[in-house]
Every structure is written in C-alpha cells, then in structure tokens.
Amino acid sequence: MTTLKILKYVLYDVLRSKMIIIYTVLLFLITFGIIYTGRDVSKAVISLLNVVLLVVPLISIIFGTIHFYNSKEFMEMLLAMPVKRKSIFWAEYAGLSIALSLGFIAGVGLPLLIYGGDLSSLYLIIAGVLLTFIFISLAFLASVLNKDKAKGIGMALVIWFYMAVIFDALVLLFYYMFSSYPLQKATIVISALNPVDLARILILLKLDISALMGYTGATLHNFFGSAFGVMFALGFLMIWAAGPTMLALRVFNRKNF
Amino acid sequence: MKRIYYILIILAIANINICSKDIIVRPGGSIKSVVESSEAGDRVIVKEGFYKEYEIVINKSIELIGEGNPTIDGISKGEIIVIRADSVTVKGFYVNNSGFSGMRDYAAIRVENSRYCTISANKLVNNYFGIYLAGCNDCTVIYNEAMSNAISESSSGNGIHLWKCSNISILNNTITGHRDGIYFEFVTSSLVQNNSTFRNIRYGLHFMFSNGCDYENNVFTENGAGVAVMYTKNVKMINNRFENNWGANSYGLLLKDISDSFIYRNTFAGNTAGVYSEGVTRLNIVNNNFTANGYALKILGNCTDDTIKNNNFAGNTFDVTTNSSRNSNFFAGNYWDKYKGYDLDKDGTGDVSYRPVNLFSKIVEETPESVFLLRSFIVDLLDAAEKVVPVFIPETLIDDEPSMERVD
Amino acid sequence: MIKIKDLKKKFGKNEALKGVTLELGEGKVIAIMGPNGSGKTTLLKCILGLVKADSGDIYVNDCHINGECEYRKNVGYMPQYSCFPENLKVKEVMAMIKDIRGNHCVYDEELLSSLKISEMNDKQIGTLSGGMKQRVSCAAAFLFGGSIIILDEPTAGLDPVSSELVKNKIAAEKEKGKLVIITSHIVSEVESLADSIIYMLDGRIYFEGTKESMYTQTGEADLNKALAVLIERNRSNEKG
C-alpha cells in the first residue's frame, strides 16, 4: 500500500521532468520522420529497431542512474518515515520504469499506431518497454553499488556500451574463431546473455522469420520456427528485468545512506 | 425392382445399333461392369451416390460422366480409374481412397499412352497419386481438385503427375496435401495455367527434363520446399505467385541447370529464398516482385549470362546473395528499397551504383548461426564499411542503373 | 526516550563510531557538536535506521530498532540538504507526507502558516530558493507532531528570517515536551537553543552534559570558549 502511495508521487515527479518530455518528443519526431520519409510502416519498424536497441537502453540507464542519485535525499527522508525500505525501492523502480515506458509508448507507439502498425510494431513496443525496465534495473544496480555519482554513471555507461555494442562484436569474433564447431546450442545460450540481443531476436522472429528459417540445424530451426523462440526471448527478458532488480534491492536493503 | 431391369434391358436392346448411347449407372449398380460392357462413343452417366469400386479400366473412347458428383471409393485397394484409350473424358466425380503401395504408383485416375483425353471437374480426396498421365499427348486436365493428407515424402504421391507426355494442358486445378502438387518429368510443350498448389509436403510444382513448357498465373504457396525446376530449357514462367515457402531447403523457386528461359512478372513473397539459382544460364529475370523474402535472390557462382532487370526488391532481409567473389550476370534497372542514392538529373535512375550483396550475408553463409546477429549495430557497421570499400563481395555484382521508384 | 548502548560502525577502514553509549530524555533540545568526520551524522542516521550499525543496540521509546520501521511513526527528520523531488509542488509534498504517515496523526496546520509554507503551495520544489526548501523540509519534520525530532544542520544556508522562524519552532516544540536533536556548527545557535550538548570527537562522545555543566567543567562562561578549552584538552591528552 505504502509502495503505491509513494509510487504516485514518484510518477508525478518523473512525468513532469524535462528530460522525459524531451525524450518523448524526440522519439516521436524520429518515429514520425522515419515513417513519413519511408512511407511504409514495416520498413519504419526496421529503421526504428536500432533506435530502440541503442537509444532506449542508453536513456533508460543514464536517466535511471541520475534519478537514483538525485533522489538520494528524498529516499533518506522517506526512510526516516515509517516506511519499509523495499517499499521505497519498488516505488522508485516502478515509478521510473512506468514513466519512461509511457514516454516510449507515446513517442514510438503512437505514430506507429496512427500509421497502421502491424504485429511487428507491437513486438517493437513490447521489446522497448522490456528494455526500459531492464536498463532501469541495471541503472539501480549500478547506483546502489557506487556511493559516488560519477562512478555510478560511469559504470552505467560501461554496461550500456558493453551490451549494445561490444557484446555483439565479441560474439561475431567468437563465431569467426569457432566456425568449425557446432554452435547451435551455444547460440541460444549466448543470446540469453544479453537483453539487447534478446529484444532484437524477439523482433527478428516477426520481421525476418523467412530468413531465419533458412538455417539448417534442427535445434535453431525449432527455436526460430515455433512459439518457443518468442517465449524464450520474452522469458529471459523478464528474467533480465527481475534479476538485477532483486540484486539491487538486496544491496539497497543493507545500504548505508 | 424387376421392372427397372426390364426397362434397362429394353433400353439396351433399343440402343444397340446407335453408335453413341447414354448408359446410366445408379447407386447399387457397378460402374466397372457398365464400362466394360460399353462401346466406343458411349456416354456412361453415373448418378449421384456412393460406389465402392476400383480398377475401373476404360479401354475404349467413352465419356464417363458423374451427375451430382457421385463418389467412387477405392477402399484403398489399388487404382480407381484407369484410362488406356484415346479421347476419353472423365468428369464430375468424387474419387476417394486409392490404394497405397511402396511398389506401384496407385492413382485415383491414371491415363496411359493415350491422346485427346480430358479429365475435368473431379474432386480427388485421400489418394496416393491424384491424376497420373504416362506417355500421353494432347490431353487436358482441368478444374480438378486433389487433396490428400501426406505425412512423409516416401509414403505419399503427387497430385498431378506427368511422365513422358507432350502437349498437355493443366488448367485451373487445385492441389494440396500431396507430395508434389504438379510433377513433370520428360514433358514437352505443355501449358500449366491458373492452378493453385498449397501445403504439399515437398514441391508445389516440380519438373525435370521438361523443355518448352509455359507456366502462367499459377499460385504456389506454403509448400514444403516451394517450386523446383531442373535440367530444362526454354521455360517461360509468367505471372505466377510464389509465396510463403519457409524452411532451410525451401525456395519460392529453385532453378537448377535451367537455360534460355524467361521469368517475367512473377511475385516472390515471404519465402525463405525467393529464387535460388544454380547452374543457370541465359535466363531473363524481368519485372518480377521480390517482397519480404529472407533471401530474395540466391545466385550461385556457376550461373552465367543471366539478366536481372527491372525487378522490384522490397522488404527482403537479404536482396542478393552469392557464394562466389566473381559475377558473370547482368543487373540493371532494378528497384532496391535499401538503395540510399540520389537522382540529381531526375531521370528516375539513381546516379550512384548499388551493390545488392552485403557482407553479412557472406558471414551467414560461412557461419549460419551468426544469423541471429542480424540487424545488430555491429553488423550494420560492418555492412556500411564493406559498401564503401568492397573487399569480400563481388566487385561486378552491381546495378549501375538502379531505379528510384518501383518498376511496373 | 532514546537509549544507545556501545554503538559501533565502520565504513571500510574508517571507524565512524567507536562505541557510543547515550541516553536522551524528553522535553529537551540536545545539540550534537563536533568537527567534520567526528561521527555526528552517522549517529543520527543510526537512530533513524538509515545506517545499519555493526554492533550495539538502540532503543527508541523502549523499542529495540532492528530494521523494524514502526518506531519511526514518532520520529521527524529534517536532512541537511533539500530532499524533495524537484517536480513536485509544495502542497503535493505536504499531501504526500500525510498520505504516508496516515490519518492517525494530528497535523500541525498552524505550522504551515507560521513557516509561511502555504504561500508557496503551487510552486515546484525545483523553483524554490535554498531557504524556502529548508523551510519545507522543516515543516515536513514537524508537521505530524512526532515526539522525537531530528534536525541535521537546520539553519545552515537559511536567511535570517527563515532561520528565526525555524528556531522559534524548535523552542516551541521543546515546550510541548518533545525531544529535539540538532547538529550544528553555529555556536550561537546552540547556545540559544540547546539544553544539553554532546560533543563528539573521532567516533566517541567526548563530552555529554548540560550547558551549565560544561561551563563549570571548563571554567568558562561562554560556549565558544568552553569548546575551545575542550578541544585544547583533547590535544594535550593526545600528546600526553
């Protein structure tokens, strides 16, 4: 109950912040621009894919970290009230994630909807929302692990850069080195290690399924070809949201303010 | 009851000297015995009803007509109707449950070494082979429907199967649930038009050594492996649709050792590979639409002197892929939705050439698992770099006159 | 009201509290003083449950605090720095405190006018000056009528008018029989407000007692000078 009461005020605060308004407007303009110049919604989804996979995690993790440090005194004040620590944590986490998700849905979802988005647009929105929750979770983790704000933001940036860029480069290198080995199962395991890849796969399963079905191995073929692939991606994305959050909550519960 | 027999006998006697007479078969009667006793030029009319019969052999020129779609059930015993004479017509039957055998190709309707036969408006359900023409000329197969429930390739037969035939017209048929929808081997100068084959477990259309055939306005969808055409010359494929053939070895259209042929105004949409060509020479691929395929056009290094012109490539994951670093085919005037060039002189042709092959397709070729990195930032980066300085992709596989707008 | 037994806390290698034992009763203003890093804020945060002590016990109203949050119903806290979300309006902040504290408290509405809070009701926290923010924090600490009020540097950065408003409030609350704990560097403020002084040094309580006992111990009649004597004694102890 207390969590919901605090959540309400966190939402009031975050939804009014300049940053989230700029974020929403910017996403809206980008999406609108892409649809307008491409004249084709399914083509727009492809162009938006990289926006969703790079920009959403970046903004979420940076905004999440900054917000956490800026709310430190507020959390102290709340902690001095008869409120459980985990209530404060959940209220902050949910408030920020919901606010940014709303911004994302309004910025990207609305134009897609107006121009008659298909199922792949829906997957894009779901992926974006999940990535928002995941990267705010990671932002909170980076924040509770570092007392110093600059270090926290630094760690957040490193996490983003690793997941958005470095990881895939390493995987490509890995494939290059081990191309003579059977890599099907490894591929599924690897994909689960990075939420950005999971989100991308989720959309690929709708967008490029005909190309993915060109793969010859049975394991990956079943993975791509059945509902299992979508379930797998969604499931692990949720784990990626829950895992760092629980970890951050554990640290938060013992943290000295 | 007796009275009917009398009438029949009287009728039979009365008609004995007229060269063409109508013979009626009603439920309870035997089509087989009536056909045996009929003479050339007769019309055997089968009334609506259910007939458990098989091995009905027609060895004289008669018409076998079903009125109100009578059902002939072969009770899984063998062939159902076998034609071994010229100018036979079989029309308007439901022909169900032919035999299944590993040794013999049992068919619902088989035509052997005959000419001028017409098989029309039959519905063939749950047969091993549907319509089987062997050694026939100048026959027509029209408005038939064949549906079976094939599970594996080895235990199923083809919908319409032609072997060593010429001048056959296969028109307006629908085939589903067989091994191959339409199968041609050593067939020449034939026409396949307005047919629809879907959800057959192997190929929607499959032909080999069948020179000089035309395929027009057919629809091939969701077949296990799409359409395969091999070892053939002078093929014309016009206005067909090849759609939603998914799978590792599934193609909208598989071309193997085809030469001097013409592929015009077809649509390839939603296939794992739109067109896969191997050992193809002097083929013109013109004015086709390649839409939302995984690989729109896979063209192997052993294809030569092919022309790919004025096609539309839109929404494909990969437009053109090849396994070779050389190219001896000609690309021009195609519309590529991934083309980012400009047209300053406004002549509708892009001022910058376009290379439709990208590096990542090569990587996927070598390490198929890496396909899951598709559309990742790092892959886009690699592709962009390769486009600027081509190292791995064929230097000459290039469209120098890319169209700015879709080609009609 | 507050009992502390042998409280110890380490931050890494740095020992912030090296065994603090204290007992604080009601109807008093107690000032915790000491140089930077002496453990003042850590001690306050331990009482509030913001910092978890390594060892030792704290009892608030005879209730042992052990991660349990109910005792904080009676505790008001004003942190050193402004603490409310920037984009909330002042009236929303007040509403929030009432929301969280619940209806069983008696809210001191008169306070809002005495601290001149009502006149900035529709302003967002982010647009307020430092002094205004402090006044809001102060109001938040006093609003619900808790029996223990903890103020960390309450008048730091306040303009004279606001500072005076806050001081008056503290004095008034004391009269109502509440325990008010403040930390401060401003000697004159402590002198005018506090009944007792706790002087902390290096994670320990160096002096604890009333102003008067401090004067008699040091033989000085002025708090400034008395403190100087205390510090001087400490130095010579270290040397000796």
Task: Indicate yes or no: CB of A80 within 8 angstroms of CB of C72.
Answer: yes
pLDDT at position A118:
82
In this prediction, residue C38 has a pLDDT band, given cuts at 50, 70 and 90, of confident
Distance of CA C220 to the CA centre of its chain: 26
In this prediction, residue B1 has a pLDDT band, given cuts at 50, 70 and 90, of low
Alpha-carbon distance B354 to B342, whole Å?
11
User: Mind listing the pLDDT tens digit for each residue in B308-318?
Assistant: 999 999 989 99
Residue C164, min C-alpha distance to chain A (Å)? 23
Residues 151-170 of C with CB under 8 A from A: none
Torsions phi, psi for A106 (to 5 deg): -65, -40
Distance of CA B297 to the CA centre of its chain: 19
Torsions phi, psi for C41 (to 5 deg): -65, -40
Alpha-carbon distance B139 to B161, whole Å?
13
Neighbouring C-alpha atoms within 13 Å toward the C-beta of C220: 12
Is C137's pLDDT higher than 50? yes
Per CB-CB distance under 8 Å, the chain C contacts of A5 are: 96, 99-100
pLDDT at position C103:
67
- For residue A120, the one-letter residue type is S
Distance of CA A185 to the CA centre of its chain: 25
Q: Which residue of B has its CA nearest to A199?
A: B376
Least confident of A62-66, A127-131, B233-237, C188-192: C188-192
Most confident of A44-48, A79-83, B293-297: B293-297
Do residues C134 and C154 touch, judged by C-beta distance below 8 A?
A: yes
Write the CA distances from C1 to C15, C59, C74, integer angstroms. Answer: 26, 8, 11
Alpha-carbon distance C175 to C1, whole Å?
16
More confident residue, C72 or B13: C72
Q: Which residue of B has its CA nearest to A174?
A: B370
Rg (CA), chain A: 19
Residue among A22, A67, A68, A256 with most chain C CBs within 10 A, to mutate: A256
Pair of tokens at residue B17? 């000297």
Residue among A194, A210, A221, A232 with most chain B CBs within 10 A, to mutate: A210
Residue B347, min C-alpha distance to chain A (Å)? 20
In this prediction, residue B6 has a pLDDT band, given cuts at 50, 70 and 90, of low
Write the CA distances from A88 to A82, B270, B355, C187, integer angstroms. Answer: 11, 50, 56, 36
Q: Total structural domains in chain A?
A: 1
Per CB-CB distance under 8 Å, the chain A contacts of C86 are: 13, 17, 70
Task: Indicate yes or no: CB of C140 within 8 angstroms of CB of A79.
Answer: no
Element (H, E) at A189: helix A184-192
Is B144's pLDDT higher than 50? yes
Task: Indicate yes or no: CB of A256 within 8 angstroms of CB of C52.
Answer: yes
More confident residue, C106 or B288: B288
Element (H, E) at C19: strand C14-24
Residue B20, min C-alpha distance to chain A (Å)? 57
Q: Which residue of A has its CA nearest to B318?
A: A211
- For residue A194, being part of any structural domain is answered with no
pTM of this prediction exceeds 0.95: no
Assess A44–B contact: CB distance below 8 Å, yes or no.
no
Task: Indicate yes or no: CB of A83 within 8 angstroms of CB of C81.
Answer: no
In this prediction, residue B120 has a pLDDT band, given cuts at 50, 70 and 90, of very high
SS3 A103: helix
Alpha-carbon distance B237 to A6, whole Å?
68
Residue A81, min C-alpha distance to chain C (Å)? 5
Structural domain of residue C182, as residue ranges?
2-239
**How do C2-11 and C55-60 pair as beta strands?**
antiparallel
Structural domain of residue A67, as residue ranges?
2-163+240-254
Minimal Cβ distance to C88: which of A5, A9, A84 = A9
Pair of tokens at residue B268? 């390839």
Q: Which residue of B has its CA nearest to A224?
A: B372
Element (H, E) at B161: strand B160-166
Packed helices A41-50 and A18-38: angle between N→C axes, nearest 10 degrees: 140
Q: For the domain that residue C156 is a member of, what is the CATH number?
A: 3.40.50.300
Task: Indicate yes or no: CB of C85 within 8 angstroms of CB of A77.
Answer: no
User: Mind listing the pLDDT tens digit for each residue in C73-93?
Assistant: 888 888 887 788 889 999 898
Q: Total structural domains in chain C?
A: 1
User: Mind listing the pLDDT tens digit for each residue in B41-97?
Assistant: 999 999 999 999 999 999 999 999 999 999 999 999 899 999 999 999 999 999 999
Where residue B172 falls (left for φ over 0; alpha for ψ -120 to 50; beta otherwise) is left
Is B156's pLDDT higher than 60? yes
- For residue A121, being part of any structural domain is answered with yes
Per CB-CB distance under 8 Å, the chain A contacts of C140 are: 77
Minimal Cβ distance to A210: which of B292, B373, B380 = B292
Is B17's pLDDT higher than 60? no
User: Mind listing the pLDDT tens digit for each residue in C105-116?
Assistant: 777 777 778 778
Do residues A183 and A175 touch, judged by C-beta distance below 8 A?
A: yes
Neighbouring C-alpha atoms within 13 Å toward the C-beta of A199: 32
SS3 content of chain B, % helix, strand, coil (to 5): 10, 40, 45
Residue among A2, A77, A79 with most chain C CBs within 10 A, to mutate: A77
Do residues B152 and B131 touch, judged by C-beta distance below 8 A?
A: no
pLDDT at position C2:
87
In this prediction, residue B19 has a pLDDT band, given cuts at 50, 70 and 90, of low
Packed helices A72-79 and A56-70: angle between N→C axes, nearest 10 degrees: 50
pLDDT-above-70 percentage for chain A? 99
- For residue A199, being part of any structural domain is answered with no
Say how many CB pairs under 8 Å bridge A and C.
83
Q: Which residue is associated with the tokens 């902050």?
A: A92
Listed residue (A154, A193, A198) closest to A170, CA to CA: A193
Residue C4, min C-alpha distance to chain A (Å)? 18
Do residues B136 and B114 touch, judged by C-beta distance below 8 A?
A: yes
Per CB-CB distance under 8 Å, the chain B contacts of A171 are: 370, 373
Say how many CB pairs under 8 Å bridge A and B.
108
Assess C112–A contact: CB distance below 8 Å, yes or no.
no
Q: Which residue is associated with the tokens 């405190």?
A: C97
pLDDT-above-70 percentage for chain B? 95
Alpha-carbon distance C213 to C199, whole Å?
13
Task: Indicate yes or no: CB of A82 within 8 angstroms of CB of C101.
Answer: yes
Average pLDDT, chain B: 91
pLDDT at position A15:
93
The chains found to touch C (3+ Cβ pairs under 8 angstroms) are A
Is A154's pLDDT higher than 70? yes
Minimal Cβ distance to A221: which of B248, B271, B293 = B248
User: Mind listing the pLDDT tens digit for each residue in C209-240?
Assistant: 888 888 888 888 788 888 888 778 877 776 65
If you ran DSSP here, which 8-state letter would residue A45 be given?
A: H
Listed residue (A164, A188, A3, A183) closest to A89, CA to CA: A3
**How do C75-78 and C2-11 pair as beta strands?**
unpaired
Packed helices A2-16 and C90-101: angle between N→C axes, nearest 10 degrees: 170
Alpha-carbon distance A47 to B316, whole Å?
14
Q: Which residue of C has its CA nearest to A20?
A: C87
Alpha-carbon distance B5 to B7, whole Å?
5
Task: Indicate yes or no: CB of A168 within 8 angstroms of CB of B270.
Answer: no
Number of H-type helices and E-type strands within chain C: 8, 10
